[in-house]
Amino acid sequence: MVRRRMPRPSELAPLLRPAPLTLDRTAAKLARATSIGDLRVLARKRAPRAVFDYTDGAAEDEVSLRRAREVWASVEFAPTVLRDVSRVDTGRTILGHRSALPFALAPTGFTRMMHTEGERAVAAVAARAGIPYALSTMGSTTIEGVAEAGRGGRHWFQLYLWRDRSVAHELVSRAGAAGFDTLVLTVDTPVGGNRRRDTRNGLSIPPALSLRTFLDGARHPRWWFDLVTTDPLTFESLAAGGGTPFEVINRVFDPALTLDDVAWLRENWSGTLVIKGVQSVTDARRVVDAGADAVLLSNHGGRQLDRAPVPIELVEPVVQELGDDAEVLVDTGIMHGGDVVAAVALGARAALVGRAYLYGLMAGGEAGVQRAVEILRAEVERTMQLLGVTRVDDLRPEHARLRSPIGSATHSNGRRAAGASGR
């Protein structure tokens, strides 16, 4: 039998702790977001449908992206216990410079379309967080604008290369002059991927007013207000013209590139050179032999070739092939700081995240990017503590393995998972 009594007012007082009142509804919502998935839900409400889909979507049936996310989810960590993890160092040297976290913010084109604060917001957050940010050739902010907004931070420049070298030459010189220390040459884009959501939504770059977008404006007035009351949304590094993303991309990409172009860039750039979009051991070796300092294993977040290799599954064999010849970076599908920890444990020098920060940007501009990075940072730190590891440099393959995703009996990693089961 439970005996009941009347509570005293002094006992009730500590239970009644109202949440601090904040008039900034966006700040309140961002503060309540506890995962990148939560930010994605907010982003979906804040951004017009076509903009959200452009960011969230991938090519064809979106299998590349789905598989990548499944494989991250299939990671099995192996914790060690009774280690003092009261202090954790999440720092990592990436391409010769110390980063406060083992990840960088990936290049994403036309970032001001997601939110008018765009690349400047991303650069500012990255600088404060002490992590690198790569500006895209298809960016909607100038190289110099990013250098200014992210003063004190580390910047990389993502390059698309054309047979006509003059534009690339000028961009590379400007990036160098603005203090960018690394070039990231993207090579998985001989032509544009078929992003069906964009076609379905009738997305054009820059967004145009049609009956559909006009009606959408009623549901996302803030976004449209920002669009028409701030600097016009344009590509700032190249004259790409307008049209559907597919048309723009095919005007920008050059299907005739070869390994000679990597060698040309190597001769014309004295900084660090990363090749982005490498998807096989053979190509990793080829680009490193042509002068690359690092390879970024990536399938462009699933936005180019569908049913492409899952980048994290390539890390182990590529690291084995390259040894100390080059650093290995990885991206595609990362939604959790634990994914970043797994990437490093499996041999990557660092990871890159794209959509994770763009969801934050769409959800709340700079404050949203800040929240995204904070969520990832906390997840990295907590995962390390729960693994019993105090330094990123101490993460080893013993700490994480890839399991075959449920329901994919033929998954290539099944063999590896079986092989690793004895540890």
Ligand X SMILES: Cc1cc2nc3c(=O)[nH]c(=O)nc-3n(C[C@H](O)[C@H](O)[C@H](O)COP(=O)(O)O)c2cc1C
Task: Name the nearest CA neighbour of 156 among 97, 111, 116, 115.
Answer: 97
Enumerate the β-bridge partners of residue 327: 294
Whether 300 is catalytic is yes
Instruction: Calculate the CA dihedral of residues 286, 166, 276, 307 and round it to 10 degrees.
Output: -100
When asked if residue 132 is in the footprint of ligand X (CB under 6 A), the reply is no
List CB contacts of 371: < 8 A, sequence separation 6 or more. 30, 31, 33, 39, 360, 363, 364
According to DSSP H, which parts of 236-354 are helical?
245-252, 259-268, 281-289, 311-322, 337-345
CA distance 32 to 44: 16
- Between 145 and 420, CB nearer to ligand X: 145
Write down the least CB distance from residue 331 to ligand X, Å: 4
Residue 298 annotated as binding site: yes
Size of the site for ligand X (CB under 6 A): 23
CA angle at 133 for the pair 131 and 136, rounded to the nearest 5°: 170
**Range in contact with ligand X (rule: CB under 6 A) among 87-95, 142-150, 199-207, 296-304:** 296-304
**Range in contact with ligand X (rule: CB under 6 A) among 102-110, 122-130, 207-215, 367-375:** 102-110
When asked if residue 118 is in the footprint of ligand X (CB under 6 A), the reply is no
Residue span 52-71 as binding mask against ligand X, x where in contact by CB under 6 A, dash where not: ---x----------------
CA distance 97 to 84: 27
When asked if residue 138 is in the footprint of ligand X (CB under 6 A), the reply is yes
Binder among 59, 95, 104, 106 for ligand X (CB under 6 A): 106
When asked if residue 355 is in the footprint of ligand X (CB under 6 A), the reply is yes
Residue 136 annotated as binding site: yes
- Between 33 and 340, CB nearer to ligand X: 340
Write down the least CB distance from residue 138 to ligand X, Å: 4
When asked if residue 331 is in the footprint of ligand X (CB under 6 A), the reply is yes
When asked if residue 47 is in the footprint of ligand X (CB under 6 A), the reply is no
- Between 118 and 347, CB nearer to ligand X: 118
Whether 284 and 278 have beta carbons less than 8 Å apart is answered as yes
Task: Name the nearest CA neighbour of 399 among 115, 130, 78, 138.
Answer: 78
State the DSSP code for 89.
Answer: B
> Looking at the annotation, which residues are catalytic?
300
Binding site for ligand X (CB under 6 A): 55, 106-109, 136, 138, 158, 186, 276, 298, 300-301, 303, 331-334, 353-356, 358
